[in-house]
Copies of this chain bind each other. A is one copy, B any other.
Amino acid sequence: MKIAIAQLNPIIGDLSGNAQKILEVAQQVAADGVRLLLTPELSLCGYPPRDLLLNPSFVEAMKITLQQLAQDLPANLAVLVGTVKQNSQAHTTGGKSLFNSIALLENGKIKQYFHKRLLPTYDVFDENRYFEPGLQANYFTLDNIDIGVTICEDLWNDEEFWGKRHYAANPIADLALLGVDLIVNLSASPYTVGKQRHREAMLQHSAVRFQQPIIYTNQVGGNDDLIFDGFSFALNAQGKVICRAEGFTTDLLVVEFDETELDLELSSVNPAPTSEDEEIWQALVLGVRDYAQKCRFSKAILGLSGGVDSSLVAAIASAALGKENVLGVLMPSPYSSEHSISDALALAKNLGIQTQTIPIGELMQGFDHSLANLFAGTEFGIAEENIQSRIRGNLLMAIANKFGYLLLSTGNKSEMAVGYCTLYGDMNGGLAVIADVPKTRVYSICNWLNRHEEIIPQNVITKAPSAELKPGQVDQDSLPPYEILDDILQRLIHEHQSVGEIVAAGHDPLVVDRIIQMLARAEFKRRQAPPGLKITDRAFGTGWRMPIASNWNAIKQISNESVIAGSKSP
């Protein structure tokens, strides 16, 4: 039996457009003798539809679109389509009004619905907000083959693999008990660094444990902050990868299920990602391209400071949208160094992008003049530094508004974490391209990018990073070295370590204390940041839900932790 995996890139909410994509693929594979077509989770509306699901007319439209699609599909092709289904019991027995479902379409009809059983409600996922969990093991029989159906998270609860149980049920164990011949998984699994390795290891474990061939179909494409990397794949019952789709692009694979052996045959195996820098690069390029396209922008603008962050973002934007569609704006001030101009121009030349230069000295004087009375007798400080950044933000938005550019903001995760950035200034933009990329990773991606030829000018990489908002300023006046900062942030944000644990790893308690304070105090800035492309397991954004007005001071706990006793802490 030929089975096709459609790794689709839907637009959220574009029901007719997404249905059309499914239809086109169906027509294509039906002509090739495919019997079963797999599409990703919620392929009809795109994942995640978020609060569009609260709109009854949206749900109704999805139902009508699904019925129409069933009628339009070629005969003798069974298609699994991701959709929502109303929970008709909700009114009397309680529970959410929708299921996250897969519909089996065949011969003009909706033949069966399967409901997702494990609903992720953590990080960026809010599925309990909308959905009631399905309670039954899901399968159907096609040409005498019993096919188990699982939806994304349904396969992420192998307690042997994880060493713990996340949910009471394990759908794959239930299906194995029922003795199905094949398990398919329809997913919309967002990218994080190294995730594909993780997915394959996990499903390999399950395939071997339950002696089940598994086909994993993933969504691809950028949807706001989330990037879906694709890399759909299949494993035979021995846990061997028998096919793998390309990453970061739509793809269509056909695999053969041997009805005698009851196993999948070896097929086309694209390479797995090998370099983290490369996969992050590809993810960010896709994220920018899709955000722009899906918001109907063809051109992007950004400020070029000659620094490493804006240089990397310019390179990403050029790869995503084409160099002819990227405008870099240089806005030197009297505090700007010579190299900030020359490095930015060298970068633009390397990339082949257009630039504009608008000095801001006169505008700075204008603000100084306007505020002279009010600020009389005060020292130059943060207020004056921010004015410069906000003048630049105003100029960039003016050009973006005038000519229809998407403004890209260029702050990295390290500075977003500690608030080393100006709200309404350099934070301005429709998309924060590297907001989830720590500064140390920014450097390593730039070095990877330069592996064949110089794209990011070498001086951009080697010079000391500086905001250049006052004479002679460098980042390390205000922040610990980025290697130290990023390690502390990793422990705080990703590993939820206590102060004691971080200090035990060799960090100065005073530095840890300061970083914790800065992280908490910058919450008000992050709340107003543009969506940032997510590449780690914990990004600032939809999956980071912190109070602003709060007073949790982790460092107070330090007195309870003996490890501090001999430290430099007062």
Contacts and interface: CB of A to CB of B under 8 A. Distances in A.
A549 B399 contact: no
Interface in A504-563: 524, 527-531, 542, 544-554, 556-557, 560
Interface string A175-188: 00000000000000
Contacts of A423: 397
Contacts of A382: 401
A135 interface: no
Interface in A1-52: 11-17, 46, 48-52
A224 interface: yes
A165 interface: yes
A471 interface: no
A168 B94 contact: yes
Interface residues of A, number: 104
B552 A56 contact: no
Contacts of A15: 552
A460 B14 CA distance: 43
Contacts of A58: 552, 554
Interface stretch (A196-204, A208-216, A363-371, A477-485): A363-371
Contacts of A57: 496, 498-499, 554, 557
Copies in the complex: 2
Contacts of A367: 363, 394-395, 398
Contacts of A50: 545-547
A530 B523 CA distance: 11
A383 B402 contact: yes
Interface stretch (A316-324, A373-381, A441-449): A373-381
Contacts of A553: 13
Given A128-B121, A383-B398, A387-B394, A11 B550 contact: yes
Contacts of A167: 94-95
Interface in A388-407: 390-391, 393-395, 397-399, 401-402
Contacts of A544: 51
Contacts of A360: 370
Given A49-B547, A121-B129, A552-B14, A398 B402 contact: no
Interface of A: 11-17, 46, 48-52, 54-58, 60-61, 64, 90-95, 121-122, 126, 128-129, 157, 164-169, 222-224, 290-291, 294-295, 356, 358-360, 362-363, 366-367, 369-371, 374-375, 378, 381-384, 386-387, 390-391, 393-395, 397-399, 401-402, 423-424, 428, 430, 496, 498-499, 524, 527-531, 542, 544-554, 556-557, 560
24 contacts: A12-B550, A13-B551, A13-B552, A14-B552, A50-B545, A52-B546, A57-B557, A93-B165, A121-B128, A222-B549, A223-B547, A358-B370, A360-B370, A362-B369, A363-B367, A366-B366, A371-B398, A374-B399, A386-B397, A386-B401, A387-B398, A390-B390, A391-B394, A393-B424
